[in-house]
Every structure is written in C-alpha cells, then in structure tokens.
Amino acid sequence: MKFLDEAKIYIRSGNGGAGCVSFRREKFIEFGGPDGGDGGRGGDVWVECVEGLNTLIDYRYQQHFKAKAGVHGMGRNRTGANGADVILKVPCGTQVLDEDGESLLADMTEVGQRFRLAKGGNGGFGNAYFTTSTNRAPRHANPGQEGQERWLWLRLKLIADAGLIGLPNAGKSTFLATVSAAKPKIADYPFTTLHPGLGVVRIDAREFVLADIPGLIEGAHEGHGLGDRFLGHVERCRVLIHLVEATGEHAGKAYKTVRHELEAYGHAIEDKNEIVVLSKCDAVDAETLKTQTARLKRASGMTPLKLSAAAGQGVEALLREVMHVIETERDAEQALENPVVAEAWHP
C-alpha cells in the first residue's frame, strides 16, 4: 500500500427538498384545505477520525463526495425524507484545510472525533405551513435551500512519540528496523526512504511510537532533495532523535546542516527536545570516533550517545533515554491539564 499524506477533495452537501402545494380532496369533504408537506433536509458532509488507518490512500482514487438531497414534500401532510449524510473516514493526525491550503478547519487527533464540513440545505415549507386565519388556502410553497460546496485539503501528520531526523543515509531506517517490527527499505545509498514510516518500540515493558522520515539535505526548505514536506510528521513528537553518522566527513557540520533546515521550516519544531546520537560507530576506528564525537559535542552543546544499530551497540541505552524524555513530557502535559489545587486551610 502506497503511503499518501496529502489529498485534495471536493465536497458538496445535499440540497433541501421542496415543499408541496396540495389540497385535501375527498368525497363529502367540501373544504378539505391545504395539506402540502415540507421538504426533507439535505445530507451533511462529516469527517470522522477512525482506527485502523494510517494513510490517505483512499482519497487518491475518489476525490468527489456528494451527500444526498432531501426528498420533496407530498400531499396528506407528508414530509420528505432527509438526505443521507456522507462521512469521510480519516486516520488520527489528519488536518482539514481550506482550499488555500493554510486555513485550518479541523485537526483530527482522537479516535471518534467528528466535524461537520458542509451543512445540508433545509427543506422548504409546504403550503399547509402558510395557513392563517385570513389565508385559508395558500397556493405557494418554499423551495429547498441549496447545499454547500467547497474544495478542501486533507493533510496527514503522523502522531508519534519520537521522531528520527538526520541527513540521508544516517542510519535512521536501520535503527527503526532494529528496534521495532517495521521493515523499511535499507540500502547503501542516500534517499532510500521515500515515505515516512512508523514502528512501535518496546523497552522495559513500556512502549512508544517511533516515526522515521526521509533525510534532509542542505536547502531542503527550498525544495532541494525531497524537500521538507515530511517534517510535518515529526511536529507532534515529544522528542527528536538526531542521528549523525560517524563515517561522514564532519559530524559537526552535518549536525548544523539539519538544525538549519529545522529552523527554516519553523512551526516550533526546532524547540523540541533533542537527543543527539552518533551512529555507525562500529564502522570507524577509535581515533576517528573520538574526533567525530568531539566535533559533534562542540556543534550541539551536548554529549552525544554512541550507537551502532547493525551491531546492537548502545541501542538499549538510547531507548531508555528516549522513554525517559517521553514520560517526563507526558507528566508535564497531565500536570497542565489537571492542576493540583491546594485546599484552603480551615480549623
């Protein structure tokens, strides 16, 4: 299944049914009076967050969604049936944007969350509605209101606890495959990863979700390489794992290149918690490893962790550090949502 994180769709809610002009005509009933029913309401267009989806591939092959129109009113005071609604099912983390691609309409972050994108038109009144003491036989009815139509953008931002960032071929996919059951494509050339990937990591009987995005290069915010369009998938992460390969020319410059792209992207992603890791440590000698570690420490201002995902060195230490940061962030969020109020003293 191809990963699709953006789709443009057209939606239209249903028109309301027209009211009916009708009069009761039966034998032995001289003045039957008006009995035209109201029209039914048009269907709405809803978006709903559901489980079991992790891509917008369903909207690759169908882009137009139209709700049913309401049924017209009928004689004998019969109201027309309401039109059927249309429900767009999307995965967690989907944002609904207006046609301009910037105005946010809904952010679907929890399973079961619903939002109405277009309201159906109301049904028209039948002539029975307009009966008054002075107008006993009205001969007019209302038409139904028209539905709403618009173009929208669906944009998926993966909900993960931790995200992997770094230059191409820094060992991100190898690390994801080592610590989870995910099976990303791994090769010895840059940009092997073309689409974001997710994996569930388990450490010390605890779990967290890890996201892997394609590598960044210098000028990614200007569209170079695969660009920075996949950075949206790590916007919601609590911690970023920045991998810098020890086999590169200069670990410090590689670190600064990625940090510059994060700052150019914005959205406060550069302010997130960061764990700096020197990867592929088993592929260099001790002297080179010492030099690269010192360079990375000067550039980042923190002591990097040493990792070799292929050999399994430093993996558990890194996972425990990531889990510690995630739990700290969770506790802080819960404290903000549920502040402890001190009880007033009383004798």
End position of a domain, from candidates 94, 122, 156: 156
- Return all residues near 199 (Cβ < 8 A) that are at least 6 apart: 176, 177, 179, 180, 181, 182, 209, 210, 212
Residue 244 in this model has a pLDDT that exceeds 60: yes
CA distance 245 to 172: 10
Q: Is residue 343 part of a domain?
A: no
- Return all residues near 325 (Cβ < 8 A) that are at least 6 apart: 238, 239, 273, 275
Query: Is residue 50 domain-shared with residue 124, that is, in the same domain?
Result: yes
The amino acid at 327: E
- Residue range 275-302, pLDDT digits in tens: 999 998 988 898 999 999 999 999 999 9
**Across residues 112-136, what is the average pLDDT?**
95
Q: Identify which has the larger pLDDT, 159 or 59.
A: 59
The amino acid at 233: H
pLDDT for 1 equals: 46
Query: Is residue 151 domain-shared with residue 196, that is, in the same domain?
Result: no
Query: Is residue 239 domain-shared with residue 172, that is, in the same domain?
Result: yes
CATH number of the domain encompassing residue 180: 3.40.50.300
- Residue 109: how many CB atoms within 10 A of its CB? 14
Q: Is residue 346 part of a domain?
A: no
Q: Is residue 347 part of a domain?
A: no
CATH number of the domain encompassing residue 50: 2.70.210.12
Cα distances (angstroms) measured from residue 110 to each of 83, 95, 239, 330? 28, 12, 20, 16
Written as one string, the DSSP assignment of 73-102 is PBTTTBPPPPPPPEEEEE-TTEEEE-TTS-
Question: Can you give the residue range of the structural domain that contains 229?
Answer: 162-337
Cβ atoms 282, 310 nearer than 8 A:
yes
Count of domains in the chain?
2
Query: Is residue 117 domain-shared with residue 186, that is, in the same domain?
Result: no
CA distance 7 to 53: 15
Written as one string, the DSSP assignment of 104-152 is EEEEE-STT-EEEEEPPPPPPPPGGGG--SS-SS----PPPPP--EEEE
End position of a domain, from candidates 123, 138, 156: 156
Query: Is residue 135 domain-shared with residue 270, that is, in the same domain?
Result: no
Q: Is residue 344 part of a domain?
A: no
Q: Is residue 234 part of a domain?
A: yes
Query: Is residue 98 domain-shared with residue 193, that is, in the same domain?
Result: no
**Across residues 134-145, what is the average pLDDT?**
94
Query: Is residue 186 domain-shared with residue 313, that is, in the same domain?
Result: yes
CA distance 263 to 272: 11
pLDDT for 323 equals: 93
pLDDT for 191 equals: 73
- Residue range 34-46, pLDDT digits in tens: 999 999 999 999 9
255 SS3 class? helix
Query: Is residue 245 domain-shared with residue 269, that is, in the same domain?
Result: yes
Range with the poorest average pLDDT among 56-60, 225-229, 341-345 = 341-345
Query: Is residue 195 domain-shared with residue 239, that is, in the same domain?
Result: yes
Tokens at 332, concatenated: 């802080």
- Residue 40: how many CB atoms within 10 A of its CB? 26
Query: Is residue 184 domain-shared with residue 291, that is, in the same domain?
Result: yes
Query: Is residue 190 domain-shared with residue 108, that is, in the same domain?
Result: no
Query: Is residue 196 domain-shared with residue 269, that is, in the same domain?
Result: yes
End position of a domain, from candidates 156, 187, 207: 156
Query: Which residues lie across from 279 on neighbouring strands?
Result: 245
Cβ atoms 8, 61 nearer than 8 A:
no
Residue 311 in this model has a pLDDT that exceeds 90: no
Q: Is residue 76 part of a domain?
A: yes
Q: Is residue 342 part of a domain?
A: no
